[in-house]
Amino acid sequence: MKKFEIEGKTVSLYPGREENGPIVYLHTHAGEGGQVYQALQKGDCRDLSLAVISGLDWNHDMSPWDVAPFSEKELPCTAGADDYLRLLTEKIVPEAEKKLPGTVLWRGIAGYSLAGLFAFYALYQTDFFSRAASVSGSLWFPNLLEYVSANEMKRKPDCLYFSLGDRECRTKNPYLKTVQERTEQIAAFCRDRDIDTLFRLNLGNHFQNSVPRTVAGIEWMLER
């Protein structure tokens, strides 16, 4: 594993064993990247490089636009995704890929919760990534469905993976209770545009099994 920092973000890079393979950029909140990598190594998926980015200002870097807090316990989302995406594509990606053997076959982007929203949103802002996994993604985000309907992705992705826990929508919160309906609508929207798309419903709530759910999304991308 190779580690470096750029503008306060920590990148843990796990190079693949083979030259000219794919790389997946995974954004994490709780330092689970190492667990994801170890689980991928135990599985039967193809070889890949994994770049795990941490040290994020979560509610800022992963949020495409402002959203007021749901309650006194919540923090607002403050529209930092575009600025962070520039840092990712202009500095983090080039530095990571300089450290890999050979050239990159394709780039994927993955994330859980708000990072799952960011992974999907990034496709509308850059053509750097050809595959994405939004795992328990925050696709309840206000006005996201309208944004998706009114805008085009920068390139048609090879494939898109969406997943949720089957209890994530069981809440009184007016935003969060829409997450399954919105995710299914977005997945259907992508399928209608002839994009290889999977929506998977897992057992449990938002906070359960984040590592195996993330691994499943990355493995699915690698199988396409």
Q: Is the model's pLDDT at 71 over the cut of 90? A: no
Average pLDDT of the segment spanning 182-211: 96
Which has more confidence, 98 or 70?
98
Tell me how far apart the terminal alpha carbons of the chain are, to the nearest angstrom: 26
The three-class DSSP label of residue 137 is coil
Question: Which residues, in sequence order, are bridge partners of residue 108?
Answer: 24, 131
Average pLDDT over residues 203-224: 94
Buried-exposed string 56-81: b where 16+ CB fall within 10 A, e elsewhere: bebbbbbbbbebeeeeeeeeebeebb
CATH of the domain at 203: 3.40.50.1820
Q: How many domains does the chain have?
A: 1
Structural domain that includes position 44 = 2-223
Give the predicted TM-score (pTM) of the model: 0.97
Q: What CA–CA distances, in Å, run from 143 to 1, 78, 221?
A: 39, 15, 27
182: pLDDT confidence band, cut at 50, 70 and 90?
Answer: very high
